[in-house]
Chains A and B, each alone.
Chain A
Amino acid sequence: MKTMNEDKQTTQQTGRYGKDFGGQYIPETLMTELEKITKAFNTLKDDPDFKAELNDLLINYANRPSLLYYAKNMTEDLGGAKIYLKREDLNHTGAHKINNVIGQALLAKHLGKKRLIAETGAGQHGVATATIAALMGFECEIFMGKEDTDRQKLNVYRMELLGAKVHPVTTGSMVLKDAVNATMQEWARRSDDTLYVLGSAVGPAPFPAMVKHFQSVISKESKKQVEAKEGRLPDMVVACVGGGSNAIGSFADYIDDPSVKLVGVEAAGKGVDTDRTAATIERGSVGIFHGMKSLFMQNSDGQIDPVYSISAGLDYPGVGPEHAALAQAGRAQYVGITDDEAVQAFEYIAKEEGIVAAIESCHAVAYVEKIAPKMSKDQIIVCTLSGRGDKDVASIAKYKGVDIDE
């Protein structure tokens, strides 16, 4: 019998997931470049030298493996399942984004590229890309929605400090989606010496597969770590989902373990039933955008809807094609957490565990707060903390009505 992963191998080759999510829907100008990237990625991912180089940077630069931390206080307070936190917030640059950019930057080096360009929402992927560009000597340009440059000023300055040029994007709703548009346009203008380092598990093939590959280090580690501590697999893995890069990385190594429940937590914003939400899997429909067939927030004409979340990293109107397929197949479950619930979790985990986690990650924490008490004490949850929350302190204070000077 074929395992799901074997099936996935075949889908990865054509860039399709499930029935027909994924694919390559992108202007002809970029198709030759995508062919080159696909070929290089397929060769390099199994190349011993490439793997050694990647591993060396992950260990000696990014501070991997990240801790699997037993959250004793939360576990006792919630009184149900045992809670482990996968601490991607402790990586260099403070988020899971570094895992993927190291991989893609090495790929860019092998392709002879001189320049890296990237979109960013909360700024974490932009910071990670600027960091690796500084380390490896690439030119770097980051595209960020004007709305986001305003709410994440610290990260803008951080990217500039690292030598990157930050372009505020003033088209559309001026958030993550528009930053992706602008980066694609720049790539169409100049691709011969440039790699678009896509930060999420979205876009045309091979990006969703590539981002998954480089982020799967999260679940490869957590599986070993939980087995070492508990001698068995967890019962549930929880991660937040915007485009879905930390979630697909957190799920990857468990997809073939049917006993492990996979839960992706989307940003419900003001509520999944309102029009101020980013809960794409719950509210979206099938469409074709940003190079992929997947689920999108859109109107009946197929115009992409503006989405909303307090979190600049989760307010994306689509979701990675593999998540759409996992949802369709029922292999993973996707739930919505509102702004209010996420902010409450931001405060909760700070007070209980002494961890200031990213507002994106706090969507996952909020779901753990809800589900853990309903589970038994001999069950285990692994929740990914995708990033640290320093960047969010000022805006959460503002949300709570406290005006502090950044």
Chain B
Amino acid sequence: MSNLSAIFKDHKAFIPFVVADDPDFDATVKNVVALAKNGADIVELGIPFSDPVADGPVIQSADLRAFKADVHTETVFDIVTAVRKETDVPLVFLTYLNIVFKYGYDAFLKRCDELNVSGLVIPDLPYENRGEIVPIADKYGIDIIPLITPTSGHRIKMIAEAATGFIYVVSSMGITGERNEFFNGLKDLVTEIKKYTDVPTAIGFGVHTPQQAQQMAGIADGVIIGSAIVDIVAKKKQAAPAAIETYTKQIREAVDQSPAKV
């Protein structure tokens, strides 16, 4: 188990996401550092996949830009090495299982351990197959972050009870990408999760405005923002770190002002 859970202890967490090597190596390092220095509690780094079935068009395009920059799994580890020279911000990877499987579960997790990466979010690894990787992750003290969705229903108990690090609560049906409406039972969903575990929760999928971030941080222990930041990276290009700084500060402030846990 990593020390991810402890991050949520005395404040609501802000967890931004960027895709590694989008649009290139140096830009990713600068963007991650900008996130870390302006209030991100944990940074989620996406390892691109050729067929990201859980992701919407914004992240799909980011993956394509990364492939254009000739990203490999090893490139991503090199990016983390460079990031680690500037910040010790807690990091988690988000990627699809085949990337980890092909590298070798043990070899991949060993690299994570060496680079002080605390956890993995793997959207196509449901509870039923956690046994393939969790024992190896445990050996290196790395969390396999589970996802719970509005459709999880009777599955919530078993997923929550097995969770470590934090629980990624999916805000609504479908795939990643900005949206204006969320599942209206999110509060109940988080309450239900809390019945089974003390592991913190963070809501993601579609959150993009400070108001939404504040609202979600009022419901859960943290908020995850992906596509909105990836969109800044895409649109601002060289000026992305400055734009990220402004945006991160806004979100940080919004999250900190969210009402305390009910």
Contacts and interface: CB of A to CB of B under 8 A. Distances in A.
A29 B102 contact: no
B8 interface: no
Interface of B: 49-51, 53-54, 60, 67, 72-73, 97-99, 101-103, 123-129, 146-155, 159, 170, 173-175
A27 interface: yes
Contacts of B150: 29
Interface of A: 23-33, 171-172, 177-178, 181, 184-185, 188-191, 287-291, 296, 298, 300-304
Contact of B148 (A23, A28, A181, A304): A28
A80 to B, nearest CB: 43
A304 B67 CA distance: 12
B51 A172 contact: yes
Contacts of A298: 98, 102
Nearest to B76: A301
B124 A300 contact: no
B101 A302 contact: yes
Contacts of A181: 51, 53
B248 to A, nearest CB: 28
Contacts of B123: 27-28
B101 A28 contact: no
Contact of B174 (A28, A33, A188): A188
Contacts of B149: 27-29
Nearest to B174: A189
A31 B99 contact: no
Nearest to A304: B50
Nearest to B49: A303
A79 B123 CA distance: 55
Interface core residue of A185, A287, A291, A296 (most chain B CB under 10 Å): A185
The 3 closest A-B pairs by CB, nearest first: A302-B102, A189-B174, A302-B98
Interface core residue of B49, B53, B175 (most chain A CB under 10 Å): B53
A27 B52 CA distance: 11
8 contacts: A24-B126, A26-B126, A28-B127, A28-B148, A29-B149, A31-B126, A31-B152, A301-B73
A172 B128 CA distance: 29
Contacts of B155: 28, 31-32
B174 A288 contact: no
Contacts of A303: 49-50, 67, 99
A25 B173 contact: no
